Structure 1
Amino acid sequence: MNMSDPKVFDKILTEIIRQEKGIKKVILVDKTGLTIANVSKLSYYPVDVDSIGAIASAVFCASEEQGNNLQIGQLEIVTSEFSEGKIFASACGKGVLCVVSEADVNIGMVRLVMKKQGKKLADELDEFLSVDTTSPTKDELDEEDLKSALAELERV
C-alpha cells in the first residue's frame, strides 16, 4: 500500500483555516463519513467532529445522487446556512471537504479556498488510499517468517 504522510492533510487543512478569519473548523472525511483529518480554531464548546463530518458527507453524497438523477451536472459545493453559522461541503477526490464557519464569513473566499485546496487534497487522498498491486518477490517471502507468523496466530 502506498502511503503519503498523513500529516500533509493537517498542513493543507491548516492552510484553509488560515485563509478566512470566519472559518472555525475544517474536516476531511471519506465518502462513508469517516474522519481522515480535522483542524479547528479555539472553541469553547464541545463539538463531535466525527458526527459533523459524517453528516456533511451524507448530505453531500445525497445531493450528488440527486444531481445525478436529475442529470444536472457535477455537484460542486453544498452550503447549509444557519442563523449563527454555515457549513460548506465539497468533493475532493475520494473524500469530502467540510468547512464550518461563522454566519458572516466571506462565502466567495471560502468557495475559492475550498476549490483550490480541494485539488491538493484530492491528489494527496488518492495517493494515501491507493493500493500497491505489486506482489512480493520470492526473496521477500521468507518461508520461516511465514511459518513463524502462522504459528503465532494459532496460539492466539
Structure 2
Amino acid sequence: MMKQQAGFTLIELVVVILILSVLAATALPRFMNVQDQAHEAAVKGAGGGFGSAVSLAHAQWVANGHTGAEVDLAGFGDDTVDTNANGWPVGTDDGNNVNNANDCRSIWTGIMQNPPSVTGATSDYIVTRAAQVCTYTYRAINTMSIVYNATNGAVTVDAIP
C-alpha cells in the first residue's frame, strides 16, 4: 500500500511565491498612483467647492442690489462675510480688503460649509496672503494649491503633484 501525499511540494510553493511576486511588482505601482490621484481629487474638490462658494457670494451681493458697495453680505452664510466694492468676499472683520492671512482663513470658513481645515499645526491647508491674493497650499503635497484673487473673484486650482 502506498502512502498518500499531504501538502505541497517545495517546487509548487516556489512557483506560487514567484507568481505572487510578479503580481505584486505589477500591482504596487498602480496602488501607489491611486494615493496621488486621491490627493489630486481632494484639492480639485476643495477648489471647486471654494470657487462655487465665491460665485454664490458674489451672486448674493448682486441679488441684494449692491453696486460698488463694500458690505456685510446679508442672506449669505451667517451674515458676517464682507465684500469689497466689486462684490467679492474679503473676510469677516468689517474690512474692504484682504489685509492678512486671517482674512483669507475667514473667507475660506465663512463661505463654505464644512471646509477642510486651514488653522492649526495639523490643518489640511496652509494659508498665505500677498496683496489681495489668498493662497491655500495643500499640506500633504505642498506643490498643490488653491489661489483666490479678491480683486476679480478668480479661483485657480493647481492640483498637479
TM-score (norm 1): 0.26
When Rg is computed on C-alpha atoms for both structures, the one with the higher figure is: 2
Higher relative contact order (CA 8 A, sep 6+): 1
